[in-house]
Amino acid sequence: MAKYKDYSYEQTVLLPVSFSNQILPDTFEHTLNFMIDDLDLSLFAERFINDETGAPAYDPSILLKIILFAYSKGIISSRKIERLCRENVVCMALSADTQPHFTTIANFISTMDKEIVPLFTEVLSVCYANNVIGKNMFAIDGCKISSNCSKEWSGTKKELLKKAEKIESSVEFLLSKHQQMDMTEYNENEIEREKKSIEKLKDKSRKIHDWLKSNDEKIGVQVKPVKSNIIDNESAKMSTSHGVIQGYNGIAAVDEDHQLIVWGEAFGDATESKHLPEILEGVKDNFREIDASEDIYSEVVVTADSGFHSEKNMKLNMENGITGFIADNQFRKRDVRFESAVEHKRKPVVNWKPAKGRKYFSADEFIYDEKTGKLICPAGHAMKVKCRNFQTTGYRGISYIGRRENCTACSHRAKCIRKEGTKARQVAKLDKSRGEAEISYTERMKRIFDSP
């Protein structure tokens, strides 16, 4: 049998380390080190007043290097970043073994909101000067990220007030229970636990009432109250593929060639479409500021998913001459490649069975009788005109509705009406022979998106 030398990853070793030799060429840390050393970081000088007195501060370039290096490894905790500076050789090399405390790292991250924007623009300028930005296509997308606050503290003012009332009723219950225990039997440990529970509940109720007094209701896109959060009111309650989270929607515009972020920001709401004008303007301003282009959209194509689609956004794109491909929320239904998608969907229950594929009567099967001027349903009944100026998906036409007495007793009802509670079938006959000027911007984008 062959013999191999013993080895162990648990061992430690003392050896001389040259920090400059640890930052290898053609690696992320080498690029990071070079880039930050080349930036003008004089804007951080205003943060410190220690010219004559006070301890020397950590160099902002060192802090930026270790923070961005840690972020590239998926490490965002300031305590873990501090540990990285003590244990990881590459991070030790980037920080020149200065080992800043985690409170210094956390304070630097949380207070650099003013400095980070000009730094981002400067990095973008360096990338453009080195031909890293391709200027062929910018892709826009968002990612919902959890924040450091609980969903428990979310709700409208009405919901939070109701929550406070429930907490107060729980306090009353515990107090009455406490009094009964005093009268019957004495259990010191249990009484102590009850006292702590009462204090915790009182603190929660006090926190809610204090917040309600000092904050206004948040109003959403539909001019209705939306959920606020007592801990972090800038965040929002959002549904994701992994469940409901309390957090932010981070949106970025990324260049096609090297996936370089050319614009990015976090928003405290899940509605992406309302932010598209701000995103497009932000990208344009960034490129104008680095003297790359006065109108970047004359050179690039913009793509985005259906979350950014709206009639208002399509109009904005087309009127400003922006070449964009933004999917609508029905594009999969029109794509022949997704015809069998239903068969592959996740089964909702254990005894799930595939649908039998019931075919309903389409609008084309309702025939217009030119002699009588009425629409005839497949069962031979005449339908009433509901609206002569009906409009949908950019088209106008006439909408019809069946008579209730005919639809209720019709033998074809199962093939005509989808929901049992629907009393009569409605059909719209649309005029699709109009000129291009009358077609909605959404319909125009559909044609562009569906083109080969």
pLDDT score, position 186 = 61
Residue whose pair of structure tokens reads 């990338």 in the numeric block: 127
pLDDT band at 347 (very low <50, low <70, confident <90, very high): low
CA distance 222 to 225: 9
Residue whose pair of structure tokens reads 């909605």 in the numeric block: 440
| Strand pairing report for 137-146 and 301-304 | parallel
pLDDT surpasses 90 at 163: no
In this prediction, residues 58-77 reach a mean pLDDT of 94
Q: How crowded is residue 59: how many other Cβ atoms within 10 Å of its Cβ? A: 15
CA distance 33 to 36: 6
Contact indicator for 70, 79 with CB cutoff of 8 Å? no
pLDDT score, position 58 = 92
CA distance 285 to 262: 11
Contact indicator for 285, 293 with CB cutoff of 8 Å? no
Q: How far is CA 300 from CA 283, 296, 297, 304, in A?
A: 11, 7, 5, 13
More confident residue, 103 or 173: 103
| Strand pairing report for 324-326 and 154-155 | unpaired
| Strand pairing report for 225-226 and 218-219 | antiparallel
pLDDT score, position 182 = 64
- The angle formed by the CA atoms of residues 313, 282 and 255, to the nearest 5 degrees, is 90
Out of 99-103, 227-231, 245-249, 385-389, pick the least confident: 227-231
- Return the CA Rg of the chain: 32
pLDDT surpasses 90 at 138: yes
In this prediction, residues 300-325 reach a mean pLDDT of 91
Residue-wise pLDDT for 276-306, tens only, equals: 999 999 999 999 998 888 889 988 999 999 9
Please give the model's pTM, rounded to 2 decimal places.
0.71
More confident residue, 215 or 87: 87
CA distance 206 to 216: 17
- Tokens representing residue 147 in the block: 């924040």
Cβ neighbours for 170, distance < 8 A, ≥ 6 positions apart = 201
Which neighbouring-strand residues pair with 247? 146, 236
The residue among 434, 430, 446 whose CA lies nearest residue 364 is 430
pLDDT score, position 280 = 95
Cβ neighbours for 42, distance < 8 A, ≥ 6 positions apart = none
Backbone φ, ψ for residue 262 (5° rounding): -105, -10
CA distance 309 to 203: 44
CA distance 135 to 255: 7
